[in-house]
A and B are shown apart, each in its own frame.
Chain A
């Protein structure tokens, strides 16, 4: 078997284990390339049957419109249930403080919405598209990652995970986060997208966009949430997105990649990591991701 076949087989096996072991699983869908691959893998795992889980999107309100349109179109094309819960509503109901500053972030706030939707539907497993090569705390996480009733990850109490035998047993109120593409790298994902002819939201490919340049030299999209300052200079560049997150914390990268092939050769040549190039949220501290996961983040 080719390595992509092996990665695909591993992911399908894990998805079917979720279907076999849990009563109320869900697939966390962000509209990014990784969760789009998960949907594609779920089609392979369960068709001609229906998915044994709904797609769940935590909408921060800071999403790119192209991604939201893509999400709705995909859900209707494949005829699967889509549950959307908005961070906006959580802020109102829980009387929370919205993100402030030049790039107001809802990164911490989306964890509330996620935990609320988990308890609303009593999900006992949440499938996510996180990969171990993204970040060094993620590199430590199991494929079946048990969370307590507060959604917290305890890296010191991880269950042993031996061979391909996955222990998904949890008590009521607890849940398991499941990461079927843990062992895929960014390049593997793109090679798979190419091989399987998977359609992606347009912002992954190069386009002209008005941006401001941050102190770190990152290119941030101008939108209604970003507070422009007088000193900001607006540039119009050919850019694309390497990761799709919130408009307020995801930077664009300069690119001339029009096709999946262009992107693959661009990634092979690049010297900067995926999250390093695009995410402002990981730059806060050395252990930013570990701390967010301990708090219930996916």
Chain B
């Protein structure tokens, strides 16, 4: 059985939490004791339906009190075909960093649009982030169709407007479904009121959308997380490099290049789950043994000799600023790419991305919370990387404030 990770985004009150609630409820993934609790709570929130499905995902006291989603909620359900992990992300602009968190490692983005309001600033913001994160699929759910009399024209107009807006974003695959989350039309069950719509329901879409495992076909990349050295009598010389294959595959006997050592060697042995194997593929946690005794440590990158990788300390990247305090020139940062870390500074803010027009604007050198900027980063140590567009695993990084330890930005290398 395959796993599909997706996230939901949209404006506040576009009904994201309700949609997820509906999906879980109609696919019978909610337990009766939880429905009982919800029914009790729903009476106190004054929502017109029997049960306020949004309460399922709003897990924090502050969220229930304010009736909004502040942080990502993860929900799980399984059908006969697939296991799903849902990240329900907040709609408010001020919680964009939490939306980034939920979206970052998913296969599919579901963006809700209120049929009455059409495309809003948040639709654009979420689509731009989806494009920046290179999420393989994007699905636009035009919600609250019941409030526009299930009018086909409303749906078609939103679709046309969205496609026009999205053209420069480089989104990979875009699909559209008209729904009413509150009443359940086209969520799990096909709606009679939307007979003009010939496509699938949301549920069918989720069960059948193709899951891409693009990492498997890419160049070979492995990064060391931890060095295993038992130092016991019988395993005196054992020295294994534990980590996950980030992309591509490795075989016993492969000639490889190691950064930042700039050394060449051969894979002597690969272990997986304590068993020796001849090859390992993207996503698999393994232990690699080398034929030479080299000073390899956490954060070192290994690639097959023919699968060249960029290796320098000058990066151009798009970052999303996530700290409440805005960026200060000369601020001391730590650059982290998987298990590799290095001191770093932002040398230059090249430009800002306008969230409405997706145009690059000139920068005044400042970066505020939730802004997307193109920057020039200099790191103390050389980084081994690919552009994010060619490899999501080696092209992504975070920036940490050395002083507060907070994650202040997420970035993708251009």
Contact = CB atoms under 8 A, between A and B. Distances in A.
A49 interface: yes
A163 B104 contact: yes
Q: Interface extent on A, as a size class?
A: 35 or more
B326 to A, nearest CB: 16
A9 B64 contact: no
A139 B73 contact: yes
A5 B230 CA distance: 26
B2 interface: yes
Contacts of A43: 274
Contact of A16 (B101, B226, B405): B226
A20 B340 CA distance: 10
A276 interface: yes
A6 B283 contact: yes
Contacts of A45: 242, 285
B3 interface: yes
A276 B34 contact: yes
A188 B76 CA distance: 11
Contact of A167 (B57, B74, B298, B398): B398
Contacts of A159: 406-407
Contact of B1 (A2, A9, A12): A2
Given A158-B71, A162-B101, A163-B396, A13 B285 contact: yes
Interface stretch (B112-120, B144-152, B330-338, B350-358): B330-338
A9 B76 contact: no
A11 B389 CA distance: 26
B339 A276 contact: no
Interface in B365-414: 392, 396-398, 400, 405-407, 410
Contacts, number: 164
A133 to B, nearest CB: 5
A182 B400 contact: no
B1 A277 contact: no
Nearest to B225: A16
B59 A136 contact: yes
Interface string A32-69: 00000000000111111110100000000000000000
B83 interface: yes
B75 interface: yes
Nearest to B84: A3
B32 interface: yes
Q: Interface extent on B, as a size class?
A: 35 or more
A19 interface: yes
A71 interface: no
Contacts of A165: 336-338, 396-398
Contacts of B406: 159
A74 B250 CA distance: 35
A185 B76 contact: yes
B322 interface: yes
Interface of A: 1-3, 5-9, 12-13, 16-17, 19-20, 43-50, 52, 132-133, 135-140, 142, 155-156, 158-165, 167, 169-171, 182-183, 185, 187-188, 270-273, 276-277, 286-287, 290
Interface of B: 1-3, 31-34, 37, 41, 56-62, 64, 70-76, 78, 83, 85, 97-98, 100-101, 104-105, 213, 225-226, 228-230, 235, 238, 240, 242-244, 273-274, 283-285, 298, 322, 334, 336-339, 392, 396-398, 400, 405-407, 410
Given A162-B407, A163-B104, 6 more contacts: A3-B2, A50-B230, A161-B101, A167-B336, A167-B398, A276-B34
